[in-house]
Chain A
């Protein structure tokens, strides 16, 4: 309201006109100034790299080369016919599914446990976050050793119970499982805490009336907790999607030795980001092709996130009563 009043001074003495104009400028400009930092940073670190990557992806761009001839969509057409690209895509989705689904279920279960009256509650709640504080590189290297073919602990345990050793790094499915274990170890606690925070926002009286109606704990969990957590679960799922589809450090450091960016001799656990790196940097240094991978990955994340939202919307059933009331 004040804005309107200041902006239209009907009777202003001449000497004050300049200050009036200033204040008018102020009211017009300052809102933009206040929000500018975000847009500026977004432009520099978001829009520009995005646009530049797209520009690069339309060229035959050798990283060290002086000339970068324009090739149009050639990188994309080649990529769509590239078996290794689809192989990496399947790997990425496979690892994503077998890491995210158990991860969110476990997080939900953990959050539910932590939401009960436990002794040293804060201690437990902090403890589930500890893996997340550990450096990804350290986690990946340690897991890489644990899942070693000959000197690894897991194979040693398998040997103790009389089972054959598993080539964790050269068997496609086994390497997916190993990498998922790493991801879950690190992220389950984080998601549990987010879900816990949301659980605590659920009004207690809902549970009280449910128990008066004779609903047991499990029924309360599935009929009250889960539906009311829907927005948070969607949030966790989307974050996990973005992280899962961009998975790089874990599979990259899981493999060591010559050219680990392949993710195993037959690309057993090479994710899309690793394939992007392999092409954009060593050993191919084909920046244009790598950029095309990046753009297709971007499109893929958008699609999967949309599918996620749709699925989870449906999962929760119809709209909740409060939501309808709020409208």
Chain B
């Protein structure tokens, strides 16, 4: 009898071995047979790389580039990227990392190739200094990614709706309407009084983030976290100031309450339901994709109230799990070169982070036909070199989500401003502790 369990065990083991052999037979290589190397590039939103890929593949006939993720929301993209990194496979050979998430990824630098080991140090002069530094780990020994774009901010507006409301439509005159945010609100009240059937702005959350990053850039240099990584959501005056201004916008009934990036938001673009939107350089590509060809020439770009500001911008990194690291690094260098950044800007509008590109006539003289020929190069590029970066803390994305949701609850009338602020602070603290 004593032998029996052992025999049973042996039987199970044998069965297991057989099954494993069978399943193992199903695995196989995924390399194409034509000898070409396939490089996968993971992006979100609109990076504008299609033309550059064609160029690169023409110059490197043994490389084939496949891009995934254009048009996806950052909220869909970043969890996937994290899962791929955690699982050790699945990520592209080149991955885009947005500035708000960079700190989280930098906390575990082992997931990425150190670009300093591959001659990236020579490229330092090709990037704005703070953009270069953002790609470095805290100890400065590893470079996670090379910068792609920065997010200089403007206001994009609908000329046709402004005309309907009896407001000036010419971009310089529009810029003069709102030297400050209170002026912007006053203009909005004039617009609303004209009853055009459209709201003055899309939704409060994006505007809130714009004001916050602008205020923080001009004053403290940090938003939800201070530079030592402490959560300061309730003590940083920049956060409170952005909150109060946003509450004024909501109180004045200027918001169309379209949740950013939602289906409704996209529909509202198509149906011309709002007149202005906070517009980082990369947003121009989003507007064009959402509003479609029907709205071509109806949009224009004016300067942002207040003083400058930066929202967004990304880095390109090479995960350690890539099987073609050397080739991927070359591609990253190409895409983030001044030439690559100019190409992306021309295609979809992300503003270069390379001073050489910013000085290039291709940028300084650039205009955007979709936005009534607005001189986008001059609007976004001027001041880009003097942009002051805003420090993003370790749980920036989670905290930002909580605060913006609090803005949203006030906007939808679920909470009053005071309750909303309490929610924002409590939930932000909770999120930061998770």
| In the complex, per-residue mask of B374-413: 1 if CB is within 8 Å of any chain A CB, else 0 | 0000000000000000000001011001001100110010
User: Interface size (A, Cβ < 8 Å)?
Assistant: 40
Chain B positions 67-107 with a Cβ under 8 Å from a chain A Cβ: 73, 75, 78-79, 82-83, 85-86, 104-105, 107
CA A281 to CA B105, docked complex, whole Å: 14
Q: Is A162 an interface residue (CB 8 A)?
A: no
CA A75 to CA B409, docked complex, whole Å: 29
| In the complex, per-residue mask of A270-290: 1 if CB is within 8 Å of any chain B CB, else 0 | 000000000101111111010
User: Which of B136-144, B258-266, B285-293, B305-313 lines the interface with chain A?
Assistant: B258-266
Given contacts A66-B108, A256-B261, contact A282 B78 (CB under 8 A): yes
Chain A positions 243-271 with a Cβ under 8 Å from a chain B Cβ: 255-262, 265-266
Chain B positions 134-180 with a Cβ under 8 Å from a chain A Cβ: none
Measured between beta carbons, the chain B residues less than 8 angstroms from A286 are 434
Query: B75 touching A36 by the CB < 8 A rule?
Result: no
Measured between beta carbons, the chain A residues less than 8 angstroms from B104 are 64, 285
Query: A281 touching B414 by the CB < 8 A rule?
Result: no
Query: A262 touching B405 by the CB < 8 A rule?
Result: yes
Query: B108 touching A258 by the CB < 8 A rule?
Result: no
Q: Is B38 an interface residue (CB 8 A)?
A: no
Query: A283 touching B401 by the CB < 8 A rule?
Result: yes
Q: Is A63 an interface residue (CB 8 A)?
A: yes
CA A282 to CA B401, docked complex, whole Å: 11
Query: B434 touching A284 by the CB < 8 A rule?
Result: yes
Q: Is B431 an interface residue (CB 8 A)?
A: yes
CB proximity of B383 to chain A, nearest CB, Å: 27
Given contacts A40-B15, A265-B405, A283-B397, contact A256 B263 (CB under 8 A): yes
Chain B positions 98-124 with a Cβ under 8 Å from a chain A Cβ: 104-105, 107-108, 110-111
Name the one of A28, A64, A150 contacting B7, with C-beta atoms under 8 angstroms. Answer: A28
Specify the chain B residue showing the minimal Cβ separation from A145: B263
Measured between beta carbons, the chain A residues less than 8 angstroms from B108 are 64-66
Query: A279 touching B434 by the CB < 8 A rule?
Result: yes
Best-buried of B85, B263, B404 by chain A (most CB within 10 Å): B263
Query: B15 touching A284 by the CB < 8 A rule?
Result: no
Measured between beta carbons, the chain A residues less than 8 angstroms from B79 are 281-282
Q: Is B205 an interface residue (CB 8 A)?
A: yes
CB proximity of A212 to chain B, nearest CB, Å: 57
Specify the chain A residue showing the minimal Cβ separation from B420: A265
Chain B positions 255-286 with a Cβ under 8 Å from a chain A Cβ: 257-265, 267-268, 271, 273
Q: Is A32 an interface residue (CB 8 A)?
A: yes
Query: B82 touching A63 by the CB < 8 A rule?
Result: yes
Name the one of A32, A33, A259 contacting B405, with C-beta atoms under 8 angstroms. Answer: A259
| In the complex, per-residue mask of A138-179: 1 if CB is within 8 Å of any chain B CB, else 0 | 000100110011110000000000000001001000000000
Query: A265 touching B265 by the CB < 8 A rule?
Result: no
Specify the chain A residue showing the minimal Cβ separation from B406: A265
CB proximity of B91 to chain A, nearest CB, Å: 12
CB proximity of A128 to chain B, nearest CB, Å: 29
Name the one of B82, B271, B408 contacting A282, with C-beta atoms under 8 angstroms. Answer: B82
Measured between beta carbons, the chain B residues less than 8 angstroms from A133 are none
Specify the chain A residue showing the minimal Cβ separation from B404: A258
CA A294 to CA B334, docked complex, whole Å: 44
Measured between beta carbons, the chain A residues less than 8 angstroms from B408 are 265
| In the complex, per-residue mask of B1-28: 1 if CB is within 8 Å of any chain A CB, else 0 | 0000001101110111011000000000
Specify the chain B residue showing the minimal Cβ separation from A30: B11
What is the total of A-B residue contacts with beta carbons within 8 Å?
123
CA A64 to CA B404, docked complex, whole Å: 25
CA A260 to CA B79, docked complex, whole Å: 13
CA A39 to CA B271, docked complex, whole Å: 57
CA A259 to CA B262, docked complex, whole Å: 10
Q: Is A29 an interface residue (CB 8 A)?
A: yes
Specify the chain A residue showing the minimal Cβ separation from B267: A151
Q: Is A37 an interface residue (CB 8 A)?
A: yes
CA A282 to CA B44, docked complex, whole Å: 15
Query: B263 touching A283 by the CB < 8 A rule?
Result: no
CA A282 to CA B14, docked complex, whole Å: 42
Query: B263 touching A285 by the CB < 8 A rule?
Result: no
Measured between beta carbons, the chain A residues less than 8 angstroms from B409 are 265-266
Query: A285 touching B82 by the CB < 8 A rule?
Result: yes
Given contacts A36-B16, A262-B405, A266-B409, contact A151 B271 (CB under 8 A): yes
Measured between beta carbons, the chain B residues less than 8 angstroms from A37 are 15, 19
Measured between beta carbons, the chain B residues less than 8 angstroms from A283 are 78, 395, 397-398, 401, 431
CB proximity of A159 to chain B, nearest CB, Å: 15
Name the one of A64, A255, A262, A266 contacting B105, with C-beta atoms under 8 angstroms. Answer: A64
Query: B85 touching A32 by the CB < 8 A rule?
Result: no
Given contacts A262-B405, A284-B398, A284-B434, contact A36 B263 (CB under 8 A): no
CB proximity of B225 to chain A, nearest CB, Å: 14
CB proximity of B293 to chain A, nearest CB, Å: 20
Query: A167 touching B86 by the CB < 8 A rule?
Result: no
Measured between beta carbons, the chain B residues less than 8 angstroms from A167 are 412
Measured between beta carbons, the chain A residues less than 8 angstroms from B11 are 28-29, 32-33, 36
> Can you pick out 25 interface pairs between chain A and chain B where the beta carbons lie within 8 Å of each other?
A29-B7, A36-B16, A36-B18, A37-B15, A63-B86, A64-B82, A64-B85, A64-B86, A64-B104, A65-B108, A151-B271, A170-B412, A256-B259, A257-B259, A258-B73, A258-B262, A259-B75, A260-B75, A262-B405, A266-B409, A266-B415, A282-B78, A283-B78, A283-B397, A285-B82
Residues of B within 8 A of A (CB): 7-8, 10-12, 14-16, 18-19, 73, 75, 78-79, 82-83, 85-86, 104-105, 107-108, 110-111, 205, 257-265, 267-268, 271, 273, 395, 397-398, 401, 404-405, 408-409, 412, 414-415, 431, 434
Residues of A within 8 A of B (CB): 28-29, 32-33, 36-37, 39-40, 63-66, 141, 144-145, 148-151, 167, 170, 255-262, 265-266, 279, 281-287, 289
Further pairs besides A29-B7, A151-B268, A257-B264: 10, Cβ < 8 Å: A32-B11, A40-B15, A150-B264, A151-B267, A256-B261, A258-B73, A258-B262, A259-B405, A265-B412, A282-B78
Instruction: Give the 6 A-B residue pairs with the shortest CB-CB distance, closest first.
Output: A257-B262, A36-B15, A282-B79, A283-B398, A32-B11, A257-B259
